[in-house]
C-alpha cells in the first residue's frame, strides 16, 4: 500500500488557499465540499457594556404584607419581585363571615437566583471621616472560570478612595470610580475589598458593577454615615398659656457651640396639649442612666408609681386601661428587682447584702415610701416588706431625734442632717396617711407601730427645736413638705415664707438655687417648694411660675438631669394640674412656625393644631436650625400647650 501511495500522482486542481478553520489558525483536513463565505467585520468601537447594565436597588426585608378584599372565586395578583437574590416564603390567611378563619396548608417558596451576581455586607452605620472596608461578594455559579472586573463608582464624589484602614497614612482620592480585577473559579464565591472614607453625612449611595465575558451584575446600596464627635442634646421646653384675641409670638434663636461638628445639627419641634404625655410615653426611659443597682432601679420604679397617681387624680385611670396595665407590669417587675437589693434587717443598699456590708438609710426610706404609695393601687406589695423597712429606719434613729446617713450611693443626695431627717419622716408620714385615708394597715406588730409613732414625734421635735439654725434651702424645702404631711400647716407656712425671701425670678419664672452650679439640686429644691405650696394653696401666682420653670428644665423625654431630681420634679408637675385644674372648655390652639436661616430667609414653614382630640398626642416636626414659633390663634381662654 505504501508503494502504491508513493506512485499516486493525484492532486488538487488548485492550491488550497481556503479551508475550514483558516480564520482561527486551525488546520482542517476534509474531503467535503467547503464553500468559503468571507465575514465582513465592522471596525467601529462596540458600545460600553456598563451602559447596558441595569442596577438592582430594591432590597426590602419584607416583600408582601398587604390586605386584599377578594370578591371572586379566584384572584390573580401580579407583583414585581424585588431585586434581592434570596428565597421568599409566602403565606396567607383569610377571614370570611360564613367560613371563618382560613390559612394555607403550607408556605410557598419563591427563589430568585442569578448564575452570576454580587452582594454587599455593610455595617449599620459608619462615621464621617472613618476609613471603612466595603466588602463586595462575587458569586459565580457558572461552570467555568471567569476573569471579572469589579468597579465601585463615585460619580457624586460622596467619599474618598483609600488604600488601607490605617488613619493618617495617606490622602484620599476623589476619583469617580476604582476598578479591581479578579479571577473567579467556577462555582465559587470570593470577596473584593474597597477602602473608602465618607465625606458627607447622611445616606450615601454605593454603585458597584461586575462584568466579564459571560455575565454581569450591578447594584446600588445605601451606607448610613453619621457625624463624627460625641452626641449632645439641648432641650428648650416652653409652657405656653394662650388667651383669645392675644396671639403670642415667640422667637428662639439658637446658640450653637463653637466646636460643633459641621452638618451634625438637627432640630425637632414637638407640641402637646398635656405636659405629662412625654413622661407617660417614656416611663422606662426618662433618664440616660444604666440600670443595675437599687438606686437606679428606683429611678425607673418611682415614675411608674407617679404615673398611676396622675392618671387617677385626673380621672383617666379607667379610660386608659391599657396604659394602666402596662404601668402595673412595670411596677411588678421593678418591685421584684428591688427586693434583690434588700438586706435581712429590712434595709436596702445599692448592690444588696452580698456586696454591701451596710444598708443605706436614704435608699431604704426612698424605697419604702414608694412601696407604700403603690399599695394605694391594689398592687401586690408584701406588707411585711414595708413593715421591716420602717422598723429598720426607726431603730436607726439617734437619741436627739435625727437620722444618720448610712451606706453608699452612686449619686449622693447631699442632704444635711436636718434635710435627711425630714426625708425619712416623709416615709413614716406616708404610711400614716395611707392608714388614715385608705384604711390600709402595713404594720401588724403593735410594738413596731408604737415605735414608729414615737420616732415620728421625736423627729419632728428635732426639726422644731433647731428650726432657727437651719439656713440650707435644700433642707428647708424638704422640711416644708414634711410639715405639710404632718398637718402642721402653720409651721410649714413659716418655712415657705422664709424660702420666698430667697427665690430667684425673672419675668415668667420663679425658682430656688444654692448657686453651686448643681442644676439637679435646683430642680429638687424648686420641686419640693412647689409641692408644699400646692398642698396648702400657698401663693398661686408663684406656684404657676415655679411650675413653668420646672417644665423648662426637662429633657425631651420628660425627665430631668438625675434620678433624684426627676422623681421630685415629676411629683410637683403631677400635683399642679390636679390642684389648679384646667378649664373644662375645649383646647383649640394653632401653632404656626417657620424656620429661618442666618440671613432671616424662611427655609421652612408649617402649622400644628392642638385640640381636644389630639391633646395627648405628641406631635413632632423636624425643622432646620434657626427658627421661631408663632402662636396665632386660640379659641379657649385657658388653652395651654407645651413645646
Confidence of residue 12 (pLDDT cuts 50, 70, 90): very low
- The closest alpha carbon to 361, from 350, 374, 370, belongs to 350
Cβ neighbours for 626, distance < 8 A, ≥ 6 positions apart? 253, 254, 595, 596, 597, 598
Average pLDDT over residues 444-461: 86
What whole-number distance in Å separates Cα of residue 147 and Cα of residue 183? 4
Band (pLDDT 50/70/90 cuts) for residue 431 is: confident
Q: How confident is the model at residue 237 (pLDDT cuts 50, 70, 90)?
A: confident
Q: Tell me how crowded residue 120 is: count the other CB atoms within 10 A of its CB.
A: 16
d(C-alpha 502, C-alpha 518), whole Å: 17
Beta-strand ranges (E) seen in 527-601 are 588-596
**Degrees (nearest 5) of the Cα angle 261, 263, 269?**
105
Q: Mean pLDDT for the chain?
A: 81
| Residue 230 CB-density burial (10 A; 0-12 exposed, 13-18 middle, 19+ buried) | exposed
Confidence band, pLDDT 50/70/90 cuts, at residue 99: confident
- In the prediction, which pLDDT does 585 show? 52
Lowest mean pLDDT among 122-126, 291-295, 438-442, 571-575: 438-442
Q: How far apart are the C-alpha atoms of 35 and 302, rounded to whole Å?
A: 98
Average pLDDT score over residue span 154-173: 76
Give the dihedral of Cα atoms 606, 607, 613, 618; nearest 10 deg: 50
**Cα dihedral sign for 403, 404, 410, 413?**
positive
Nearest to 233, CA basis, from 277, 201, 264, 263: 264
Nearest to 412 by CA among 470, 360, 346: 360
Sheet containing 132-140: which strands, arranged edge to edge? 116-120, 132-140, 188-198, 159-162
Q: What is the pLDDT of residue 563?
A: 79
Would you say the pTM of this structure is higher than 0.85?
no
Tally helices (H) and strands (E) across the chain.
13, 23
Of residues 407 and 367, which shows the higher confidence score?
Answer: 367
Distance separating alpha carbons of residues 364 and 467, to the nearest angstrom: 25
Confidence of residue 338 (pLDDT cuts 50, 70, 90): very high
User: What was the pLDDT predicted at 637?
Assistant: 44
Tell me the average pLDDT across 127-144: 92
Q: Give 366-398 pLDDT, tens digit per residue.
A: 999 999 999 888 778 888 899 999 999 999 999
Can you spell out the DSSP letters for 221-290? EEEEEE-SS---------EEEEBTTB-EEEEE-----TTPPTT---EEEEEBSSTTHHHHHTTT-SSS--
Structure-derived torsion over alpha carbons of residues 495, 497, 498, 502, reported in degrees to the nearest 10: 130
> Which are the contacts of 376, defined by CB distance < 8 A and separation ≥ 6?
309, 434, 438, 440
Q: Is the pLDDT assigned to residue 50 strictly greater than 70?
A: no
pLDDT of 15? 47
Q: What is the CA radius of gyration of the chain?
A: 38
Going by C-alpha positions, the residue among 472, 341, 339 that lies closest to residue 408 is: 341
Average confidence (pLDDT) over 204-222: 92
pLDDT at 151: 94
The model's pLDDT over 296-308, given as tens digits with 9 standing for 90+, comes to 888 888 888 988 8
Q: From residue 263, how far is each of 228, 266, 300 by CA, in Å?
A: 10, 8, 35
Degrees to nearest 5, angle at CA 146 with 179 and 118: 60
* CA–CA distance, 331 with 308 (Å, rounded to integer): 10
Residue 44 confidence (pLDDT) above 50: no
Euclidean distance between CA atoms 468 and 625, whole angstroms:
51
Mean pLDDT, residues 29-34: 60
* Residue percentage of the chain with pLDDT more than 90: 33
Say which range, 5-19, 228-242, 379-393, 599-613, has the weakest mean pLDDT.
5-19
Average pLDDT value for residue range 592-608: 74
Q: Within 13 A of 38's CA, how many CA atoms are on the CB side?
A: 3
**pLDDT at site 210:** 94
Determine the Cα–Cα distance for residues 176 and 498; give it in Å rounded to an integer: 73
DSSP for 456-509? HHHHHHHHHHTGGG---HHHHHHHHHHHHHTT-HHHHHHHHHHHHTT-EE-SS-
386 φ, ψ (degrees, to nearest 5): -70, -40
Amino acid at each position: 500500500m505504501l508503494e502504491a501511495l508513493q506512485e499516486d500522482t493525484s492532486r488538487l486542481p488548485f492550491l488550497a488557499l481556503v479551508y475550514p478553520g483558516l480564520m482561527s489558525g486551525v488546520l482542517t483536513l476534509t474531503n467535503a465540499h467547503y464553500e468559503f463565505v468571507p465575514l465582513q467585520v465592522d471596525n467601529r468601537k462596540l458600545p460600553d457594556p456598563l451602559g447596558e447594565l441595569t442596577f438592582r436597588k430594591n432590597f426590602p426585608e419584607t416583600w408582601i404584607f398587604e390586605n386584599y378584599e377578594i370578591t371572586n372565586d379566584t384572584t390573580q395578583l401580579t407583583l414585581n419581585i424585588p431585586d434581592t437574590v434570596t428565597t421568599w416564603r409566602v403565606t396567607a390567611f383569610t377571614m370570611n363571615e360564613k367560613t371563618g378563619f382560613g390559612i394555607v396548608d403550607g408556605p410557598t417558596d419563591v427563589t430568585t437566583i442569578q448564575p452570576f451576581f454580587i452582594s454587599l455586607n455593610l455595617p449599620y452605620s459608619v462615621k464621617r471621616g472613618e476609613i471603612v472596608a466595603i466588602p463586595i461578594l462575587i458569586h459565580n455559579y457558572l461552570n467555568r472560570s471567569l476573569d471579572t472586573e469589579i468597579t465601585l463608582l463615585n460619580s457624586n464624589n460622596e467619599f474618598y478612595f483609600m488604600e488601607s484602614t490605617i488613619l493618617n497614612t495617606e490622602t484620599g482620592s476623589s476619583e469617580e470610580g476604582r476598578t479591581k480585577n479578579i479571577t473567579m473559579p467556577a462555582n465559587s464565591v470570593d470577596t473584593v475589598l474597597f477602602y473608602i472614607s465618607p465625606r458627607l453625612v447622611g445616606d450615601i449611595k454605593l454603585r458597584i458593577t461586575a462584568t466579564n465575558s459571560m455575565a454581569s451584575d450591578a447594584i446600588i446600596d445605601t451606607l448610613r454615615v453619621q457625624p463624627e464627635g460625641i452626641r449632645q442634646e439641648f432641650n428648650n421646653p416652653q409652657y405656653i398659656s394662650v388667651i383669645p384675641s392675644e396671639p403670642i409670638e415667640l422667637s428662639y434663636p439658637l446658640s450653637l457651640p463653637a466646636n460643633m461638628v459641621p452638618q451634625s445639627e438637627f432640630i425637632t419641634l414637638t407640641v402637646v396639649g398635656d405636659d405629662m404625655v412625654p413622661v407617660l410615653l417614656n416611663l422606662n426611659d426618662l433618664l440616660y442612666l444604666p440600670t443595675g443597682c437599687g438606686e437606679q432601679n428606683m429611678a425607673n420604679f418611682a415614675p411608674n408609681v407617679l404615673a398611676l397617681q396622675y392618671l387617677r387624680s385626673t380621672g383617666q385611670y379607667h379610660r386608659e386601661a391599657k396604659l394602666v396595665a402596662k404601668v402595673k407590669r412595670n411596677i411588678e417587675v421593678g418591685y421584684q428587682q428591688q427586693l434583690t437589693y434588700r438586706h435581712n434587717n429590712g434595709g436596702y443598699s445599692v448592690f444588696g447584702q452580698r456586696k454591701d456590708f451596710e444598708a443605706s438609710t436614704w435608699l431604704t426610706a426612698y424605697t419604702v415610701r414608694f412601696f407604700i404609695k403603690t399599695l394605694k393601687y391594689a398592687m401586690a406589695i408584701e406588707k411585711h416588706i414595708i413593715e421591716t423597712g420602717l422598723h429598720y429606719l426607726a431603730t436607726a434613729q439617734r437619741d436627739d431625734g435625727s437620722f444618720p446617713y448610712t451606706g453608699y450611693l452612686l449619686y449622693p443626695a447631699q442632704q444635711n442632717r436636718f434635710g435627711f431627717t425630714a426625708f425619712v419622716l416623709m416615709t413614716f408620714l406616708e404610711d400614716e396617711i395611707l392608714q388614715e385615708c385608705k384604711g390600709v394597715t402595713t404594720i401588724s406588730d403593735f410594738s413596731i407601730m408604737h415605735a414608729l409613732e414615737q420616732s415620728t414625734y421625736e423627729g419632728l421635735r428635732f426639726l422644731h427645736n433647731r428650726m432657727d439654725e437651719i439656713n440650707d434651702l435644700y433642707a428647708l424645702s424638704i422640711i416644708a413638705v414634711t410639715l405639710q404631711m404632718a398637718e402642721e400647716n402653720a409651721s410649714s407656712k413659716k418655712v415657705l415664707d422664709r424660702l420666698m425671701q430667697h427665690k430667684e425670678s425673672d419675668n415668667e419664672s420663679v425658682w430656688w438655687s444654692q448657686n453651686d452650679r448643681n442644676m439637679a439640686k435646683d430642680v429638687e429644691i424648686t420641686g419640693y417648694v412647689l409641692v408644699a405650696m400646692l398642698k396648702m394653696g400657698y401663693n398661686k401666682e408663684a406656684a404657676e411660675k415655679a411650675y413653668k420653670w420646672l417644665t423648662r428644665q426637662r429633657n425631651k423625654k420628660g425627665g430631668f438631669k438625675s434620678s433624684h431630681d426627676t422623681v421630685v420634679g415629676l411629683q410637683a408637675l403631677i400635683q399642679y394640674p390636679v390642684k389648679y385644674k384646667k378649664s373644662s372648655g375645649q383646647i383649640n390652639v394653632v401653632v404656626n412656625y417657620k424656620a429661618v436661616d442666618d440671613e432671616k430667609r424662611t427655609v421652612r414653614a408649617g402649622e400644628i393644631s392642638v385640640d381636644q382630640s389630639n391633646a395627648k398626642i405628641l406631635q413632632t416636626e423636624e425643622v432646620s436650625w434657626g427658627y421661631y414659633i408663632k402662636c396665632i390663634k386660640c379659641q379657649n381662654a385657658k388653652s395651654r400647650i407645651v413645646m
